[in-house]
Amino acid sequence: MRVSTLGTFPLQKPHLPEESSKTVTKQPLPEMVSSLRLLTLTSLFSPSFTRRTTVSLRRRLHLRPPLAAGFSVQSAASSPPETEDRLDHKKSSRAQDPANTDRVITPRSQDFNAWYLDVIANAELADYGPVRGTMVIRPYGYAIWEAIQDYLNVKFKETGHSNMYFPQFIPYSFIEKEASHVEGFSPELALVTIGGGKELEEKLVVRPTSETIVNHMFTQWIHSYRDLPLLINQWANVTRWEMRTKPFVRTLEFLWQEGHTAHATPEEAEKEALQMIDVYTEFAYEQAAIPVIAGRKSKVETFAGADKTYTIEAMMGDRKALQAGTSHNLGQNFSRAFGTQVMDTLALSESKSKIRKFTDENGQRQHVWQTSWAISTRFVGGIIMTHGDDSGLMLPPRIAPIQVVIVPIWKKADEKTGVLNAASSVAGTLKTAGLKVKLDDADQRTPGWKFNFWEMKGVPLRIEIGPRDVSSGSVVISRRDVPGKQGKVFGISMEPSILEAYVKDRLDEIQSSLLQRAISFRDSNIVDVSSYEELKEVISLGKWARGPWSASDADELRVKEETGATIRCFPFEQPQGTKTCLMTGNSAKEVAIFAKSY
Amino acid sequence: MRVSTLGTFPLQKPHLPEESSKTVTKQPLPEMVSSLRLLTLTSLFSPSFTRRTTVSLRRRLHLRPPLAAGFSVQSAASSPPETEDRLDHKKSSRAQDPANTDRVITPRSQDFNAWYLDVIANAELADYGPVRGTMVIRPYGYAIWEAIQDYLNVKFKETGHSNMYFPQFIPYSFIEKEASHVEGFSPELALVTIGGGKELEEKLVVRPTSETIVNHMFTQWIHSYRDLPLLINQWANVTRWEMRTKPFVRTLEFLWQEGHTAHATPEEAEKEALQMIDVYTEFAYEQAAIPVIAGRKSKVETFAGADKTYTIEAMMGDRKALQAGTSHNLGQNFSRAFGTQVMDTLALSESKSKIRKFTDENGQRQHVWQTSWAISTRFVGGIIMTHGDDSGLMLPPRIAPIQVVIVPIWKKADEKTGVLNAASSVAGTLKTAGLKVKLDDADQRTPGWKFNFWEMKGVPLRIEIGPRDVSSGSVVISRRDVPGKQGKVFGISMEPSILEAYVKDRLDEIQSSLLQRAISFRDSNIVDVSSYEELKEVISLGKWARGPWSASDADELRVKEETGATIRCFPFEQPQGTKTCLMTGNSAKEVAIFAKSY
């Protein structure tokens, strides 16, 4: 039996240096932190604070944000065994050089990874946990995950799935049973060996994925074809002892949903696997504005344990591919390993009219046909890396925790009440209309500071209300996705029905504009190739190569070896016409997409 | 520093026999199971099946339900070290005696614990996981938990809390740091000692509760009073190596929410702790129809790590108390242990108008004041044990996964279409009205079987539609909480507006009736006592004793020793008048409630 590798995190098993077992990062001496922070905080809360200009405020405020400090702290204390965990970039280029500390976010074009980490820190999406490779998902980041959950949870139920919960501790023997033919899964496992103060007789695996325990239970619940299809899902945490970690994209523990289904026929299982990759695809396009390419994995890239793996592949801002969700047709691999079978001799087929013989040719009871499918908190990383820009995060309205931020502006004390009343009334109007609205009426920050802050947090629309707006009964509205004056419209009426319609239209426009922009970016970075030379050229430019492929697994591995690119998928959407394999010159049925990936 | 024991699961640390480290239960030989099941299934699907009478069908169908088998299997293979895990009851009284196997659910009055396990098995709420003490929460049970989540999640957000997620692996040193003065927490921990194929330098604790890691992070996020209050919550799994396990009530891994807050003043923390126990109380009364008694724990029963613990105590059907939710005022215990402090010298008080000096008398920076509060899947056990009866589960409409089940009834083939159309139309009407409706149109079961099945699943209302009802345009409606003819009303019009109003009224009535019934039961089982002799008498009758108490901790422990009862709480609602301590005869400020508990 083959090992389960369901999910979005590729299993990589590098040989580890000795440091890898060091799990807890050292914290700096409390006195040191205090003095550093005291300096900053004293500046922030000094009486002269509110007189500073917006620009210098912004520089000042971000001098040493707590989160960036948190990241630097860990990067200083931990020894990342692999280069992808590049947190020491910050240490070397900024944190240790006071002159460099006042730029908020590394420009995306300058260093994509540093930009990514800066955005996560400054937008307060996540922070490092005390154990190497773990992540604390902060409220703003978690709210994005909740938006993902809310949408998918409804879709899963609409398509007949029920939520449930399986224990996270799995007897080691289950994994062995299933993984006996797969080398090196164990390097990824976290094992509980002590429970209740005693050494356990059998080690327990902390769930890296649940096919084994799911099948153990399915075997007890499924007896008749009437028990099928069995369609379940769970929202859970999973643990994989990853060495090259990166917030959201690859962490030691992450959150996901894992769907598990059992069916009476291979056709039903195939239909289910395709249905769920479609659900993911629709989610990516419609909600996250990420124009993923859906397709089938090559045999080499198919997860062990699956007969077929379907995937959605997203192009990040640095043009690397992110596997953003997968759906596996598991065939009978797990049902055979765990004896999950139906004992009826006759069964109704899915059409409910045709009797189907429910034994195989040898009169054996039939093992069920299964699927599994998952999307994880990695998707949040995909959203950041698809839409963000030099100013920070940019969130599609449909998954933004805050869709509209309202910034009241006043100078004189006698203006304040009128402005705040109007702002509050506008906030009320939009909340009643079902929008997610934040009124930032804090006294301590200037409007300029607030503009930058909420831009950095990726809020799609900003409404400004000053004394003159109050007089004219109108507001100023700025789009996050159109910088500067182009994105700013004056004189929108505060009249509730007009304002509501205007704001909703703009949010729809932004949603659609982010998707269109991402489609253009994606399409301008996928190049059709007809030879291996062309493929190498395209990959070396950082782009995706698409070309006919019918070569061997060995050829596929050679491409990976020589270019760093892998087959991301054979896309469902295939060009017409005859095709000639770019590698062998033989005829090919399909084009494949090659790219470097996360 | 004291250990955190936040939550609803009392920490018990019995000395364990050697068997306790045996974590995986043996499964019976596959052939044996198959043959047993084959017998049953053959009966079920034999051609004569549909001709049986309802009663004999019911007996037959429940002969050996897979779940009961699952439970028995484990009880046969595992050796529960304590008597509370009484699954072997089933083995001795039923599973091994074929003559006894045809009663579905042990009568509640005969054996409350066996009844509880039978209900869980037959209503498919949960099943055992392969690791001792773990539980698989099945869709129907999980849907109850989702109803709890949906309600509380909204309340938490309304009261200003944000969801987030902390890693479940906690460095062992964190626990040690915090637990140094508490003996014996470590017997409850599950420890990860191997990660990525290597022995870890430092053991990792699988989260039993999160105060330590929360404070580690709070210390990095809180610098100024402006960062306060910090109000967060997480929905998560937690692990406690419990020896005496019982599905939902006490399991090795369970699901919960844990709120954690930090405040600038002790008054704010106290207000928060009280606010959250109020949220729990309102949930228990209004949604779960459980008339909990809210109050303060005695010093002995206060969780170590807390200055004060507030609790909601529910009376189960066997009159044992269930601690169903707790809210702790943690004072500065954790903030001192982890150095979570504010560095401002001046701060605005909560009224935002009064300047408050933000240092203590010695000029030290102020540690924050904290709370934590939790409700877990244990609450599902509380719902079962409050409302269930001999027929099975009985669910309050507001948390029932299915509020109305529709059973179409026909005999002749030519009646079928009309009946099914009407049933489907009624289902549509009620779904449109926002109700949770199940149309049970399965061909394979008789109406009588369905009646019993959905009663056992606790569905509040059943609608029956037969050919005559179709002709008259009406339906028959039966209440789960009023057995037999009394609960059955004929001739309710199918006209949507009439039917919707009728059904909604009945559901409201049932909700209210379940609560009233539970209040009566509770109040008739709480007895006021004025002496220790009276207390002992009341406890020995299995009731709750309420009496004035101002005696010592030693006296309280003596009561526990001699009667098995503990102080459940000093209820918020106190009787008027002067009070004399039942134990010492000294004057007392408050009455306490004593009871045996889960």
AA letter at A477: I
Using alpha carbons only, how large is chain B's radius of gyration in Å?
A: 27
Task: Say whether pLDDT at A397 is over 70.
Answer: yes
Nearest CA in chain B to A43: B344
- Touching A: B residues 334-393, CB under 8 Å: 339, 343-344
Cβ contact (<8 Å) for A130 and B170? yes
Least confident of A236-250, B40-54, B165-179: B40-54
Q: Which of A9, A15, A21, A74 to mutate to test the interface with B (most CBs of B within 10 A)?
A: A21
Please list every residue in chain A whose beta carbon sits closer than 8 Å to the beta carbon of residue B204. Answer: 23, 131, 190
Decide if the complex's ipTM is over 0.95: no
Structure tokens at A34: 């205090």
Nearest CA in chain A to B24: A171
Nearest CA in chain A to B36: A223
From the number of C-beta atoms within 10 Å of its C-beta (0-12, 13-18, 19+), residue B16 rates as middle
Least confident of B131-135, B349-353, B427-431: B349-353
CA distance B18 to chain A (A): 9
**pLDDT tens-digit readout, B66-117:** 333 333 333 323 333 333 443 333 333 333 333 333 447 999 999 999 999 9
Q: What is the pTM assigned to this prediction?
A: 0.85
Confidence of residue A492 (pLDDT cuts 50, 70, 90): very high
CA distances from A460 to A229, A261, A475, A480, B42 (A): 42, 38, 16, 5, 62
In chain B, % of residues over pLDDT 70: 78
Task: Count the Cβ atoms, other than its own, within 10 Å of residue A364.
Answer: 9
- In whole angstroms, give the CA distance from residue A230 to residue A139: 34
**pLDDT tens-digit readout, B442-455:** 988 999 999 999 99
Task: Say whether pLDDT at A458 is over 50.
Answer: yes
- In whole angstroms, give the CA distance from residue B378 to residue B384: 10
- In whole angstroms, give the CA distance from residue B207 to residue B199: 19
CA distance A271 to chain B (A): 23
- Touching B: A residues 252-291, CB under 8 Å: 252-253, 255
- Touching A: B residues 190-249, CB under 8 Å: 190-204, 206, 213, 216-217, 220-221, 223-224, 226, 232, 236-237, 239, 241, 243
Confidence of residue B5 (pLDDT cuts 50, 70, 90): very low
Task: Say whether pLDDT at B63 is over 50.
Answer: no
Structure tokens at A38: 């005291």
Q: Does A137 touch chain B (CB under 8 A)?
A: yes
**pLDDT tens-digit readout, A541-576:** 999 999 999 999 999 999 999 999 999 999 999 999
Superfamily, domain A404-506: Anticodon-binding domain (3.40.50.800)
pLDDT score for A282? 98
Domain B529-596 architecture: 2-Layer Sandwich (3.30)
| CA-based nearest residue to B379, from B131, B82, B149 | B149
Q: Does B130 touch chain A (CB under 8 A)?
A: yes
| CA-based nearest residue to B371, from B260, B518, B515, B235 | B260
**pLDDT tens-digit readout, B431-441:** 999 999 999 99
Confidence of residue A345 (pLDDT cuts 50, 70, 90): low
pLDDT score for B182? 52
pLDDT score for B363? 57
- Touching B: A residues 22-81, CB under 8 Å: 22-24, 30, 34, 37-38, 41, 45, 66, 69-70
Q: Which of A15, A20, A24 to mutate to test the interface with B (most CBs of B within 10 A)?
A: A24
More confident call, A176 vs A322? A322
pLDDT score for B129? 97
CB pairs under 8 A between A and B: 241
pLDDT score for B226? 87
Q: Are B100 and B93 in contact (CB under 8 A)?
A: yes
- In whole angstroms, give the CA distance from residue B7 to residue B375: 7
* Average pLDDT over all residues of chain A: 83
Least confident of A170-179, A216-225, B310-319, B345-354: B345-354
**pLDDT tens-digit readout, A135-146:** 999 999 999 999
Confidence of residue A175 (pLDDT cuts 50, 70, 90): confident
pLDDT score for B21? 38
Confidence of residue A392 (pLDDT cuts 50, 70, 90): very high
- In whole angstroms, give the CA distance from residue A307 to residue A357: 23
Cis peptide bond upstream of A266, omega within 30: no
Please list every residue in chain B whose beta carbon sits closer than 8 Å to the beta carbon of residue A189. Answer: 194-197
Cβ contact (<8 Å) for B192 and A196? no
* Average pLDDT over all residues of chain B: 83
In sequence order, what DSSP letters do the residues of B140-162 get, joined into one string?
A: HHHHHHHHHHHHHHHHHHHTT-E
Task: Look at chain A and count its residues.
Answer: 598
3-state DSSP call for residue A319? coil
Nearest CA in chain A to B138: A164
pLDDT score for A187? 79
What are the structural domain ranges in chain B? 135-168+210-345+363-387, 404-506, 529-596
Please list every residue in chain A whose beta carbon sits closer than 8 Å to the beta carbon of residue B30. Answer: 339
Of B135, B167, B173, the CB nearest to A135: B167
Task: Say whether pLDDT at A60 is over 80.
Answer: no
Q: Which of A15, A61, A164 to mutate to test the interface with B (most CBs of B within 10 A)?
A: A164
pLDDT score for B364? 65
* Mean pLDDT, range B470-475, rounded to an integer: 96
CA distance A411 to chain B (A): 21
Of B24, B37, B137, the CB nearest to A164: B137
Q: Does B490 touch chain A (CB under 8 A)?
A: no
* Mean pLDDT, range B562-578, rounded to an integer: 97
Q: Are A289 and A387 in contact (CB under 8 A)?
A: yes
- In whole angstroms, give the CA distance from residue A530 to residue A465: 57
Q: Are B218 and B336 in contact (CB under 8 A)?
A: no
Q: Which of A20, A23, A43, A346 to mutate to test the interface with B (most CBs of B within 10 A)?
A: A23
CATH, domain range B135-168+210-345+363-387? 3.30.930.10
* Mean pLDDT, range B39-54, rounded to an integer: 30
Q: Which of B192, B223, B244, B341 to mutate to test the interface with A (most CBs of A within 10 A)?
A: B192
* Mean pLDDT, range B390-409, rounded to an integer: 98
**pLDDT tens-digit readout, A235-254:** 999 999 998 999 999 999 99
Cβ contact (<8 Å) for B130 and A216? yes
Cβ contact (<8 Å) for B194 and A173? no
Cβ contact (<8 Å) for B173 and A24? yes
CA distance A19 to chain B (A): 10
3-state DSSP call for residue A228? coil
Of B44, B174, B196, the CB nearest to A20: B196
Torsion of CA A327, A332, A338, A342, to 10 degrees: 110
Q: Does A135 touch chain B (CB under 8 A)?
A: yes
**pLDDT tens-digit readout, B192-229:** 999 998 999 999 999 999 999 999 999 999 988 889 99
* Mean pLDDT, range A42-64, rounded to an integer: 31
More confident call, A2 vs B442? B442
- In whole angstroms, give the CA distance from residue A287 to residue A515: 9
| CA-based nearest residue to B572, from B201, B225, B280, B238 | B280
Q: Are B191 and B153 in contact (CB under 8 A)?
A: no
CA distance B247 to chain A (A): 12
Question: In chain A, what's the furthest Cα-to-Cα distance?
Answer: 90
Cβ contact (<8 Å) for A165 and B70? no
Task: Say whether pLDDT at B330 is over 70.
Answer: yes
Q: Bin A7: left if φ > 0, else alpha if -120 < ψ < 50, else beta.
A: left
Confidence of residue B13 (pLDDT cuts 50, 70, 90): very low
Task: Say whether pLDDT at B22 is over 60.
Answer: no
Task: Say whether pLDDT at A110 is over 50.
Answer: yes
Cβ contact (<8 Å) for B201 and A22? yes
pLDDT score for B344? 67
Task: Look at chain B and count its residues.
Answer: 598
Cβ contact (<8 Å) for B193 and A189? no
The reply to whether domains A135-168+210-345+363-387 and A404-506 share a CATH topology is no
What residues form DSSP beta bridges with B407?
A: B464
Of B130, B162, B232, the CB nearest to A213: B130
pLDDT score for A476? 98
